Structure 1
């Protein structure tokens, strides 16, 4: 089974934790409790193939910017979250995407999805669908409008990211590592582990 880690990034209060918990535990978190960093792990079935997914739910980008560099460096995929009820949160996502490209390399097609939250709050909506679609087309990344409360389009967003990571990080990486172990590694009898 292949393993991937992804990072959930966005401004504070946009619903990153609610989105993550809905996908990982199928629960809705009602109260807002600012996150510093929370890790979730689960086996997900995408297109009939099991994948071990680790999600890092981060604090609001404006609160812990120094940590973002570490998260981005280690992350293999990114969920860029903004609230459909807050136009300013989309600007935050724009700067986060620039930061990812700066760290990962401008030309790399890093696995990424753009996710708008709070779709159920129709009367409070500030971000138009047209604006989001234009942005997604310019960035060449998929966009999802979701509601963690109603469980609308949450799973498809994360499943899309898993598909992108499978494509971007081919399984050959793992085979190369196995080849090195077979060539350089030796089995340590007492602990039954391979030492490089």
Structure 2
């Protein structure tokens, strides 16, 4: 058995030589109106900041080499601003979520809270508990208009099992880059842990079958 496993791993290694490993992730971006969802997404995709967007829902595909991986992002920039607007098929489609609010808008923060809670409920219902979520407080450049503190954002993220970032899509490209790359890393880690769990369960079942057979002989 060990020899067969070693041979299989060697063959897999030869097949992957010369090309980086691939990672694909479906990312759903949601939040209230005028919080900068599209600005954040387009900033990541193009490095450019565009302040005004129409009420348009888009799905983008973006490929990039990062940390030795060939990463393919499929990003659904959703127009859903309230929990009632969210469709379950969107949440099932996603491998990870970015929930955006404006640090200057208390209403958008409450919408983010409701959306995070809705995602939690769906994850429990579908058994997709490992799908990662990042809460993003946008418009950090408007400190003089701030109505939600960084601590409030961190506490909300902690209470909903989410990661947290405060950024300004208007000021820098770096913030958008960090958010999307962090989520991709989290998706990769969640898949690895799931595969390990499945592998361990398989080993346990195999060993149980072997030892069970020996006891009956």
TM-score category (smaller protein): 0.7 to 0.9
Report which of the two has the higher share of strand: 1
Q: Distance in 2 between matches of 1:38 and 1:21?
A: 11
Cα displacement (A) at 1:99: 1.6
Match of 2:112 in 1: 93
Deviations 1:124-145 (A, max 9, x none): 1111011112222222322111
Decide whether the 8 Å contact of 1:3 with 1:52 is kept in 2. Answer: yes
Q: Distance in 1 between matches of 2:66 and 2:110?
A: 31
Residue among 139, 143, 146 paired with 1:125:
146
- Runs of at least 5 residues in structure 2 that lack an aligned partner in the other structure: 1-21, 197-217
Residue among 65, 68, 73 paired with 2:92:
73
More displaced stretch, 84-93 vs 102-111: 102-111
> Residues 79 and 68 from structure 1, CA distance in 2 versus in 1: closer, same or farther, beyond 3 angstroms?
same
Residue among 170, 177, 193 paired with 1:149:
170
Q: Which structure has the larger Rg over C-alpha atoms? A: 2
Does 1:164 find its partner at 2:164? Answer: no
2:87 match: secondary structure = helix
Q: RMSD value over aligned CA atoms?
A: 2.3
Q: Distance in 1 between matches of 2:165 and 2:49?
A: 18
2:141 match: secondary structure = coil
Does 1:140 find its partner at 2:166? Answer: no
Does 1:49 find its partner at 2:86? Answer: no
Q: Distance in 2 between matches of 1:131 and 1:45?
A: 35
Q: Distance in 2 between matches of 1:172 and 1:4?
A: 16
2:48 match: secondary structure = coil
- Runs of at least 5 residues in structure 1 that lack an aligned partner in the other structure: 174-196
Cα displacement (A) at 1:154: 1.4
Q: Distance in 1 between matches of 2:26 and 2:94?
A: 6
Residue among 24, 29, 41 paired with 1:8:
29
Cα displacement (A) at 1:172: 5.4
1:153 match: secondary structure = helix
Match of 1:38 in 2: 58
Q: Distance in 1 between matches of 2:104 and 2:85?
A: 27
Q: Distance in 2 between matches of 1:3 and 1:154?
A: 18
Report which of the two has the higher share of helix: 2
Decide whether the 8 Å contact of 1:46 with 1:162 is kept in 2. Answer: no
